[in-house]
């Protein structure tokens, strides 16, 4: 066996310093690996039994990683953790990116002693937290997985935080399926990890050859995977993923990497040790049914007597004390008659908030447009440049959030659509992460439609529990940062490109509500705006006033939650009429948010919004062309009032 190991290592990069240590490590071992093989068989049996009990799930996808899980959970080369304290910040971490292999993850924690193995048969039942794919409803899950190709980004965020913020020696392990390596997000994360030298990150690629409906693109072409990860700047170690010794050796080597993340490219078989099923198509996501008994009997036969008792390895280190105080920032200091873009005020607010060490800023090569650069210049050590890779940026932010950080992610509002699935999974992960999208709507002007966020309100509103703020002046934008930081969960701040007048005193207190900015006791309709359209509404009110028509103007500010009380109160004294005006499409935007909130009231709602694909032009020309200018508001109000 020792010569096999040497063969294994001789193929690896010469950058490893740990080679001699490792040889010492293995020369002391005997044939005691049988205990790990035994446990792998047990984990397979648990996976079969649990998926039979639920009559659904992915036992064959579990089987391909059984030896890997056995070693990860019980060998010193694997995770160092307290099995009864999965939240302990000194634990090494595991992200199961191929979340459909959840049953074997649950089985490993049960075998480690966290809960009774008989609970495993509650898999996928409505009253059990052992869901079909892992979620943080379980205390040993940090982030939800199940939408493929996302685990590595979250692992990057955790590893980045451990290495750079926490300065500890923890390791982050993640297991990727081969099918999910087709997802581009994996390669965004690969770039990120090598660029930032995350040598505390170990990715295990489970190359089991078979996808859901077909063999994977590259099947068992292991060298192709090795070449890719090496080209992306990682160490690559190829192993037989069913050989405990090779897995142990590779992990030992990976734990000692300096300056580079390590990928263990494991050749495995889907349904390994399931006779008549192993390495065959059409067994994805299927419980074994009447094959189960025969397979379990075979697996039991693989369990050989051994004196060794497997025990997890505990970590070193002292726990970080968690801070619970709310975030507070000082008052801003904007001159009352100045014009300042809300994106600039967002940058000011983020910089002010940055005095709190929990705050992390991330941007995707747009920091001089989103103005997160103000934060970066003051707190460079807590700013992570993520380059043009929005999916990984969101996943990385999620990873820092599970380490107690509060990440603020900035880019153009349009470009968050690139990571909608990551935002979705961040919500399922109960992630406490904040998004700031600049350059919303047609008011960006000449760059044209591909750069205009016109569906971002809709997208962030559809996230359960989200807070969506759309400030209209610098004071409220600055203070929105504090509100977002104190909201538990996903928060979104929408900022605008053009400079707009100050509307509020620096001392104004903001909550997630709406604010009346213009009123009289003769108002005939309530006009609700936000961002640039609020200023158009104010202009419209001035024009209309000269014509003897009074309108109430509301700064919506909080798009989610909708401030029903303020809207109903205003509408009730303005003819039960509301007109919304937004630099966004109608669907899922302000008009529908208001219409939905008031759907059971005796209030009529009209909307002005962008109704077609916009084009390039000057901001003011575009507001007019797409029906959301002061002039268009004047015409619409007159039409409604008849």
Residues 5-44 that bind its own copies (CB under 8 A): none
- Chain positions 137 to 166 lying near its own copies, rule: CB under 8 A, are 137, 144-149
Stretch that binds its own copies, among 27-35, 54-62, 243-251, 472-480 (CB under 8 A): 54-62
Largest CA distance in the chain: 95
Query: Is there a contact between 80 and 92 (Cβ–Cβ < 8 Å)?
Result: yes
Pairwise CA distance, residues 164 & 619, whole Å: 42
Rule CB under 8 A: choose which of 543, 621, 631, 635 binds its own copies.
Answer: 621
Nearest to 154 by CA among 394, 410, 317: 394
Rule CB under 8 A: choose which of 34, 164, 219, 595 binds its own copies.
Answer: 595
Q: Report the length, in residues, of the chain.
A: 642
568 part of the interface to its own copies, by CB under 8 A: no
131 part of the interface to its own copies, by CB under 8 A: yes
Count the helix, strand and coil residues of the chain and give each as a percent rounded to the nearest 5.
Answer: 40, 15, 40
- Chain positions 477 to 516 lying near its own copies, rule: CB under 8 A, are none
- Within 10 angstroms of residue 638's Cβ, the number of other Cβ atoms is 12
Rule CB under 8 A: choose which of 4, 212, 377, 520 binds its own copies.
Answer: 212
- Chain positions 360 to 399 lying near its own copies, rule: CB under 8 A, are 363, 365-369, 373, 385, 387-392
Binding mask 533-552 for its own copies (x = CB under 8 A): --------------------
Measured from the CB atom, the residue of 79 and 579 that comes closer to its own copies is: 579
280 part of the interface to its own copies, by CB under 8 A: no
Cα dihedral 538→342→414→361 (10° resolution): -160
390 belongs to the catalytic site: yes
- Within 10 angstroms of residue 245's Cβ, the number of other Cβ atoms is 21
- Tokens matching residue 266: 């494991």
3-class SS of residue 473: coil
- Chain positions 338 to 367 lying near its own copies, rule: CB under 8 A, are 363, 365-367
- Chain positions 226 to 245 lying near its own copies, rule: CB under 8 A, are 227-228, 230-233
Query: Is there a contact between 461 and 420 (Cβ–Cβ < 8 Å)?
Result: no
Pairwise CA distance, residues 156 & 153, whole Å: 5
Rule CB under 8 A: choose which of 379, 420, 492, 504 binds its own copies.
Answer: 420
The H or E element containing residue 177 is strand 172-177
128 part of the interface to its own copies, by CB under 8 A: yes
Residue 628 beta carbon to its own copies: minimum distance, rounded to whole angstroms: 15
Pairwise CA distance, residues 413 & 398, whole Å: 18
Task: Quickly list H helices, 402-508.
Answer: 420-428, 456-461, 474-486
Query: Which is the catalytic residue, given 188, 390, 536, 592?
Result: 390
Cα dihedral 385→388→393→395 (10° resolution): -150
Residue 482 beta carbon to its own copies: minimum distance, rounded to whole angstroms: 24
Measured from the CB atom, the residue of 110 and 622 that comes closer to its own copies is: 622
The pairing of beta strand 515-518 with beta strand 406-412: unpaired
Rule CB under 8 A: choose which of 37, 38, 47, 135 binds its own copies.
Answer: 135
Counting residues that bind its own copies (by CB under 8 A) gives 110
Residue 528 beta carbon to its own copies: minimum distance, rounded to whole angstroms: 13
Catalytic residue numbers? 390
């Amino acid at each position: 066996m020792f010569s096999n190991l040497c063969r294994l290592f001789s193929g690896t990069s010469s950058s490893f310093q740990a080679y001699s240590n490792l040889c010492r490590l293995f020369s002391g071992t005997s044939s005691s690996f049988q205990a790990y093989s035994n446990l792998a068989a047990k984990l397979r049996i648990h996976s079969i039994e649990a998926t039979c009990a639920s009559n659904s799930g992915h036992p064959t996808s579990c089987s391909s990683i059984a030896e890997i899980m056995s070693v990860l959970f019980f060998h010193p080369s694997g995770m160092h953790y307290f099995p009864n304290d999965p939240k302990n910040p000194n634990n090494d971490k595991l992200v199961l990116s191929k979340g459909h292999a959840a049953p074997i993850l649950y089985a490993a924690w049960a075998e480690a002693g966290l809960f009774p193995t008989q609970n495993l048969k509650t898999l996928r039942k409505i009253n059990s937290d052992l869901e079909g794919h892992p979620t943080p409803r379980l205390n040993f899950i940090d982030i939800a997985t199940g939408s493929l190709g996302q685990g590595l980004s979250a692992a990057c965020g955790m590893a980045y935080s451990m290495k750079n913020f926490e300065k500890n020696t923890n390791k982050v392990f993640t297991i990727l399926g081969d099918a999910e390596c087709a997802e581009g997000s994996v390669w965004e994360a690969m770039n990120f990890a090598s660029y930032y030298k995350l040598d505390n990150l170990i990715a295990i690629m489970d190359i089991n050859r078979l996808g859901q409906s077909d063999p994977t693109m590259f099947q068992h072409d292991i060298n192709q995977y090795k070449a890719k990860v090496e080209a992306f700047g990682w160490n690559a170690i190829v192993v037989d993923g069913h050989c405990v010794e090779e897995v142990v050796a590779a992990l030992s080597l990976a734990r000692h990497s300096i300056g580079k993340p390590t990928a263990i490219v494991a050749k495995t078989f889907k349904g390994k040790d399931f006779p008549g099923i192993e390495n065959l198509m059409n067994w994805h996501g299927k419980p074994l049914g009447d094959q189960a008994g025969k397979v379990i009997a075979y697996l039991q036969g693989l369990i050989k007597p051994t004196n060794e008792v497997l025990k997890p390895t505990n970590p070193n280190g002292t726990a970080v004390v968690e801070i619970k105080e709310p975030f507070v920032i000082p008052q801003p200091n904007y001159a009352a008659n100045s014009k300042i873009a809300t994106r600039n005020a967002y940058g000011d607010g983020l910089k002010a908030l940055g005095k709190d060490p929990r705050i992390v800023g991330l941007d995707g090569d747009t920091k001089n447009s989103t103005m997160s650069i103000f934060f970066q210049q003051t707190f460079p050590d807590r700013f992570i440049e993520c380059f043009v890779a929005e999916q990984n940026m969101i996943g990385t932010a999620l990873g820092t959030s599970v380490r107690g950080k509060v990440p603020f992610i900035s880019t153009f509002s349009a470009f968050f659509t690139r990571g909608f699935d990551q935002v979705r999974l961040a919500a399922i992960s109960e992630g406490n992460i904040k998004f700031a999208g600049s350059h919303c709507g047609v008011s960006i002007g000449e760059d044209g439609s591909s750069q205009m966020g016109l569906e971002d309100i809709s997208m962030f509103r559809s996230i359960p529990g989200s807070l969506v703020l759309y400030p209209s002046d610098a004071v409220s934008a600055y203070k929105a940062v504090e509100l977002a930081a104190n909201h538990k969960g996903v928060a979104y701040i929408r900022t605008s490109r053009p400079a707009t007048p100050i509307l509020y005193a620096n001392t104004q207190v903001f909550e997630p509500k709406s604010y009346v900015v213009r009123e009289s006791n003769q108002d005939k309709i309530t006009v609700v705006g936000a961002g640039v359209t609020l200023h158009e509404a104010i202009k419209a009110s001035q024009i209309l006033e000269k014509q003897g028509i009074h309108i109430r103007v509301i700064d919506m500010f909080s798009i989610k939650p909708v401030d029903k009380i303020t809207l109903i109160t205003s509408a009730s004294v303005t003819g039960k009429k509301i007109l919304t005006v937004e630099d966004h499409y109608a669907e899922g935007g302000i008009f529908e948010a208001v219409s939905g909130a008031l759907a059971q009231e005796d209030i009529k709602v009209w909307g002005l919004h962008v109704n077609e694909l916009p084009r390039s032009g000057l901001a003011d020309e575009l507001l007019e062309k797409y029906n959301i200018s002061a002039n268009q508001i004047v015409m619409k109000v007159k039409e409604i009032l008849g």
